[in-house]
Structure 1
Amino acid sequence: MAKSATPKPAEPPALKRRQQFAQTYQMARKSDPTIGRWVLGAGLVGLVVGFAVFWLIVGRNSVIGLVVTIVGALMLATLAGLTVFSRRAQRAVYGQMEGQVGAAAGALGLLKRGWHVDNAIAFTKQQDVVHRVIGPPGILLVGEGSSARLKGLLSAERKRHERVAVDTPVHEIVVGKDDGQVPLPKLARHVQKMKRQVQPAEITDILARLKAIDASRPILPMPKGPIPTSMKGMRGQMRGR
């Protein structure tokens, strides 16, 4: 009789969340030393405002009202602190990522379900990178690096995808601060706000068609330097939960 493998005990989700929160805080604090004071201040303001509001509504009537007032004030203080933390942490993390190879991949990792991201489908020796996103707007080719070198790289990838995914909209996005480019901190939001031109059922067909491109694509060495992935782990905090 074969021995059944003993599953390893899963790590408690609460512990993982605390670890992610602590990691995010330590990373953000490197470029924003005052983040702790801002979060504490927001929490105190939320506590005072929450207590005053709940006290005026229910707190004066009974002991239960007082309990509800305290609980409500604590919840509002927590929400205010987390909101300030998420915004300042997002700003700090994007500041640290900007200029790194593959920074756009980290930002694209914040996209929710319904989006399919393929990192570094093409790049140059100078570490100009093109990522691919499949979603409701169609096919998005996201380039980061030198705009002059990306022009030819994006054009070649666009033609390659249009030959396979006929009638599917193909969009080019260049990440940067120049005119016509999308700043890194606004990349995920910019992608999500693009016009919906493809139905969910069509996305499955597009992904199947693109397998032909990926199968014929030579195995390319990854550009030097790690592609940031910490943004994915920070998704909860950066959405202000």
Structure 2
Amino acid sequence: MAKPQEKVSFGQRLKQIGMVFSFTAKRDKWFVPLAVAAVVLPLAVTVPVVLAWGWMWLPIGILLALLALLIVLNLRSNTAMMNVAEGQPGAAASLLENMRGDWRVTPAVSSTTQMDMVHLVIGRPGVILLAEGNPQRVRGLLGQEKRRLAKVIGSAPLYDYVIGTDEGELSIRKMRMTLARLPRNLTGRDVNALDKRLSALSARPQLPKGAIPKNMRPPKGAFRQSRGR
């Protein structure tokens, strides 16, 4: 499960912003011109005000320029990130792991060799299953996971989505907004308790179906020997 977000220092935050800036600039040709305009326009408006009313207005102009730059960075970086993530296996889980809030994400709790997968998410709305891959195959995986989870989640709401662009599917571009708008059905204590139950369920060893292979059977007389000890 994904750990709750830890506090980030000011230096680490600046490093993260620099990485996002570089990532967006490489993938969005409009980002740099828009970023320059976001800085220049507020400062251009501030200069006449400073000349007329004094230098006290300069810090305000600088703050407005920084705010405009951060807004442009946020909007364009989200667009660039979605362009890269769309169609990539496991992209939904990766995006959710970096989503603000208490979201416990377990990637690929169920999968196939064709890179179809179902991710498990626990949050204040309840239990959420996100499926990526071939719609026909992942719906089968979703059905299996829903039956498995129904035994332990109790009355907690269960939501399921198939990530894609076809009718009836959830676009990865709208995924975070859709989950953020779900009702808060559980308390923080409920989320912790549910997380523990599902972690215990995942930790249980799964016995292979069918007959036990000969190389896994105990040798003859092993039970009699153990009784005689």
Query: Shorter-normalised TM-score: what interval?
Result: 0.7 to 0.9
Q: Aligned letter for 2:28?
A: D
For 2:89 and 2:151, locate their aligned partners in 1 and report how far apart those are by CA, in whole Å: 29
Q: Secondary structure at the match of 2:33?
A: helix
Contact 2:118 2:129 in 1 (8 A): yes
Contact 1:115 1:135 in 2 (8 A): yes
Partner of residue 169, structure 1: 157
For 2:28 and 2:101, locate their aligned partners in 1 and report how far apart those are by CA, in whole Å: 31
Whether 1:31 aligns to 2:27 is: yes
Q: Secondary structure at the match of 2:107?
A: strand
For 1:188, which of 176, 180, 196 is the aligned residue?
176
Partner of residue 73, structure 1: 61
Partner of residue 116, structure 1: 104
Q: Aligned letter for 2:141?
A: L
Instruction: Tell me the TM-score normalized by structure 1.
Output: 0.75
Partner of residue 219, structure 2: none
Q: Residues 19, 114 of structure 1: CA spacing in aligned structure 2 closer, same or farther, 3 A cutoff? A: closer
For 2:96 and 2:82, locate their aligned partners in 1 and report how far apart those are by CA, in whole Å: 12
Instruction: Tell me by how many angstroms 1:71 deviates.
Output: 0.3
Contact 2:116 2:133 in 1 (8 A): yes
Instruction: Tell me by how many angstroms 1:28 deviates.
Output: 1.8
Q: Aligned letter for 2:55?
A: V
For 2:12 and 2:193, locate their aligned partners in 1 and report how far apart those are by CA, in whole Å: 36
Aligned pair count? 199
For 1:132, which of 105, 120, 128 is the aligned residue?
120
For 1:189 and 1:106, locate their aligned partners in 2 and report how far apart those are by CA, in whole Å: 15
Instruction: Could you tell me which runs of 5 or more consecutive residues in structure 1 were left unpaired when the two chains were aligned.
Output: 1-11, 219-241
For 1:163 and 1:199, locate their aligned partners in 2 and report how far apart those are by CA, in whole Å: 21
Structure-to-structure mapping, 1:59-98, within 5 angstroms: 60=52, 66-98=54-86
User: How far does the alpha carbon of each residue in 1:25-84 deviate from its partner, in whole angstroms, 9 at most, with x for none?
Assistant: 2322232122111111122222234566xx39xx855xxxx2331000010011101101
Identity %: 29
For 1:217 and 1:108, locate their aligned partners in 2 and report how far apart those are by CA, in whole Å: 27
For 2:191 and 2:118, locate their aligned partners in 1 and report how far apart those are by CA, in whole Å: 20
Q: Residues 158, 22 of structure 1: CA spacing in aligned structure 2 closer, same or farther, 3 A cutoff? A: same
Instruction: Tell me the TM-score normalized by structure 2.
Output: 0.79
Contact 1:175 1:183 in 2 (8 A): yes
Contact 2:38 2:69 in 1 (8 A): yes
Moved more, 79-88 or 176-185: 176-185
